[in-house]
Amino acid sequence: MNINLKQVKIMFDLFYAGGPLFMGILTIILVALIATAVYSLIKIKRDGSSSKSVSLVKEIGIFGFIFGIFGQFLGLYQAFNAIEAAGDVSPALLAGGLKVSMITTLYGMTIFVIAWLFYFGLKLLTGRE
């Protein structure tokens, strides 16, 4: 896998466009998800049994998704307040604002998908249905 500097710059631009506060919190949620999944995997390999941390992986993913939606709604609320104060805005400006507001939701959705992949993988390892 070869990542060039242009791709890294795009990722940082998306991070800051989505709002450093919400994107930072979502990144912390992603790190917590990965740590919980690794802990669950180690516990399953060591004990051979399932633990509560397997279902916690799923819950962290759901929380990430909901937090991403919350970030989008808060961004939309602020944008609509600015539009109300400015009066008339162009459709292109409105479309650009809607596009930017979706960044946190897309990041939260990505965390959710990763969590479900971890969850189903861990469930397969435990032999549970």
Distance CA 37, CA 32 (A): 9
Is 30 a residue whose pLDDT tops 90?
yes
- 69 closest CA partner among 18, 124, 127, 120: 18
Read off the pLDDT of each residue in 10-14 and give the average, rounded to a whole number.
83
Domain boundaries of the chain, sorted by first residue: 5-126
- Cβ-based neighbours of 128, under 8 Å, separated by 6 or more: 50
Label residue 107 by pLDDT band (50, 70, 90): very high
pLDDT, one tens digit per residue, over 53-88 is 888 999 999 999 999 999 999 989 988 888 888 888
Is the pLDDT at 129 greater than 50, yes or no? no
CA pair distance 56, 111, nearest whole angstrom: 14
Mean pLDDT (whole number) for 97-106: 90
What pLDDT sits at residue 128? 57
108, burial (CB in 10 Å: exposed 0-12, middle 13-18, buried 19+):
buried
